[in-house]
């Protein structure tokens, strides 16, 4: 996981908790989740377009 050990992850989590507070973290995670979902949807769309182009090329 990017060369991060458990201690580093805990320190990062503690810093995030101190910076944003406990009430903001669920909002941040929700936004992060939406961003990841949007990214995956975009990647799937690109993959679908590539497959369509391959099929069109085979048909010609």
3: left (phi over 0), alpha (psi -120 to 50) or beta: left
Which residue did the predictor score with more confidence, 16 or 41? 41
d(CA 17, CA 3): 22
Which residue did the predictor score with more confidence, 47 or 21? 47
* Percent of all residues in the chain with a pLDDT value above 90, rounded to a whole number: 33
Contact 15, 7 (CB under 8 A): no
Contact 25, 16 (CB under 8 A): yes
The pTM of the whole model exceeds 0.75: no
Nearest one of 6, 29, 5, 7 to 17, comparing CA atoms:
29
């Amino acid at each position: 996981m990017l060369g991060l050990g458990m201690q580093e992850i805990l320190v990062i989590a503690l810093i995030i908790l101190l910076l944003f507070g406990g009430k903001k973290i669920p909002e941040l995670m929700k936004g992060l989740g939406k961003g990841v979902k949007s990214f995956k949807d975009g990647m799937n769309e690109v993959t679908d377009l590539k497959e369509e182009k391959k099929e069109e090329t085979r048909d010609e």
